[in-house]
Structure 1
């Protein structure tokens, strides 16, 4: 959502419980067991991602068919996907490998950052979804129409992040541009949401307590989303996430070029002895 799929890496910590020396055969067996455990974990994670992707596709289809998403927001994912594909081919082609650290993630998140992501997921996804469903139940068309474009774009963003995070076709700069592009667009969408609930919606004169609570819940949720994603855009994605992606990309490029130069030099230095031997034989 805020780049979490592309930003948070799973840290591998050594097993501190095993301190005694092991025989080579035992080490091989332990390595095989660890590989099987890693495959099981990866399979479980991928299965969870598939479930999430199916749910997001369902949300996207419902939002698209509801007629509550403006045409510009419906077209934006197609434009963003085409633009990212062009960048991946022409501007920032993938090197087809990983960095020397062996990780495919851009940034390793700390505990504070993970908490920040959880808060963003709650504020940006779960509560707006509850707000839209509550709007349907209450017959509040204004609430549904105001929050639906944000949920539509956010669902597309998460789906795109989940898909391209496991593909070597996309380089780190291209992957980092996914949350950046979608967040920029959603900030404008959230501004429209704030305008709707703060300036175009009023309480009736005979409003009850639950109506007042619902009214201020919608206002507070719109402002909370605007604050969170503005901070996420100007405080994380632009100053930290995007530069780190470019730094990693050019580091990988320099590593590949350096290795290619070393191979070329070693091939060049190995030719003269062979040529001298051929001359002596003549």
Structure 2
């Protein structure tokens, strides 16, 4: 999410254990291989869980708990991305053969991703389900729009990351568009739980704990996704996508120009030979 699915897209790397006459076999340390396999397994499991949760979230999010503006937003965003992919940032022909990865994160970044998945998806889902169980309609209505938009973001990122039809700038705009909208939705959520919701006098301890859990969760989401938007997506993720896109475009243009020059030279050589004869 928020660029996670796209930045963590699986890479097709060459086998470095193959030897040739000029290269020596390169073997990764066993500990490094184990660490990469463990982290890859964790991230893969998170993706499977996210996709399973998307279907569940969309079912109860479409039951009248989501405002009309948030219901329409995914359709608008999808149409806008399709227009950009066709008219403004079309995919290059060589993009399908290269890696789909835009941003290669470190171990700390992967931990940051797991924290974001927990704060943005799992805990809000538990909060909504707890609201259903407790009959707290206010909690359900406050957090459901965020989950609804996040579910569409995850779904869109997973679809686009597997298609070479979309160029890096278009793929990078998916988390950017959804995160901008969700920040405003989460601010409304925080306003609901901090301003519009109050505890009755002599409330039980479990009600007090539930009340502050909702408040803390809303604040945590505002903080995390604001940092994600202004500290990662805008200053790092989006520029990296544009840099890769224009670098690929320049390489293709340079190769095309070189092929044209080669074709002109090859055509002129037979003519010169005939004149010499």
Could you state the TM-score of these two structures normalised by the residue count of structure 1?
0.84
Which residue pairs with 1:7 in the alignment?
A: 7
Which residue pairs with 1:85 in the alignment?
A: 82
Give yes or no for the alignment of 1:68 onto 2:65. yes
Task: Provide the C-alpha distance between the structure 2 equivalents of 1:127 and 1:48, rounded to a whole number of angstroms.
Answer: 14
What is the 5 A alignment of 1:79-118?
79-98=76-95, 102-118=98-114
Alignment CA distance shift 1:194-1:250 (3 Å): same
Displacement of 1:58 in angstroms is 3.5
Task: Provide the C-alpha distance between the structure 2 equivalents of 1:235 and 1:135, rounded to a whole number of angstroms.
Answer: 32
Checking the alignment, whether the CA contact within 8 Å between 1:87 and 1:93 is kept in structure 2 is: yes
Task: Provide the C-alpha distance between the structure 1 equivalents of 2:187 and 2:77, rounded to a whole number of angstroms.
Answer: 20
Question: What residue ranges of structure 2 are gaps of 5+ in the alignment?
Answer: 26-39
Displacement of 1:213 in angstroms is 0.4
Checking the alignment, whether the CA contact within 8 Å between 1:99 and 1:252 is kept in structure 2 is: no
Alignment CA distance shift 1:143-1:47 (3 Å): closer
Give yes or no for the alignment of 1:144 onto 2:140. yes
What is the 5 A alignment of 1:267-278?
267-278=263-274
Could you state the TM-score of these two structures normalised by the residue count of structure 2?
0.85
Checking the alignment, whether the CA contact within 8 Å between 2:58 and 2:148 is kept in structure 1 is: yes
When the two chains are superposed, the root-mean-square deviation of aligned CA atoms in Å is 2.7
Task: Provide the C-alpha distance between the structure 1 equivalents of 2:59 and 2:199, rounded to a whole number of angstroms.
Answer: 32
Question: What residue ranges of structure 1 are gaps of 5+ in the alignment?
Answer: 28-41
Task: Provide the C-alpha distance between the structure 2 equivalents of 1:74 and 1:60, rounded to a whole number of angstroms.
Answer: 11
Q: Deviations over 1:49-83 (max 9, x none)?
A: 6775354134213211x100000000000000000
Equivalences, count: 257
Task: Provide the C-alpha distance between the structure 2 equivalents of 1:130 and 1:170, rounded to a whole number of angstroms.
Answer: 34
Checking the alignment, whether the CA contact within 8 Å between 1:96 and 1:169 is kept in structure 2 is: no
Which residue pairs with 2:212 in the alignment?
A: 216
Alignment CA distance shift 1:61-1:97 (3 Å): farther
Q: Deviations over 1:187-243 (max 9, x none)?
A: 000000000000000111121111100000000000000000000000000000000
What is the 5 A alignment of 1:235-250?
235-250=231-246
What is the 5 A alignment of 1:24-39?
none
What is the 5 A alignment of 1:167-246?
167-246=163-242
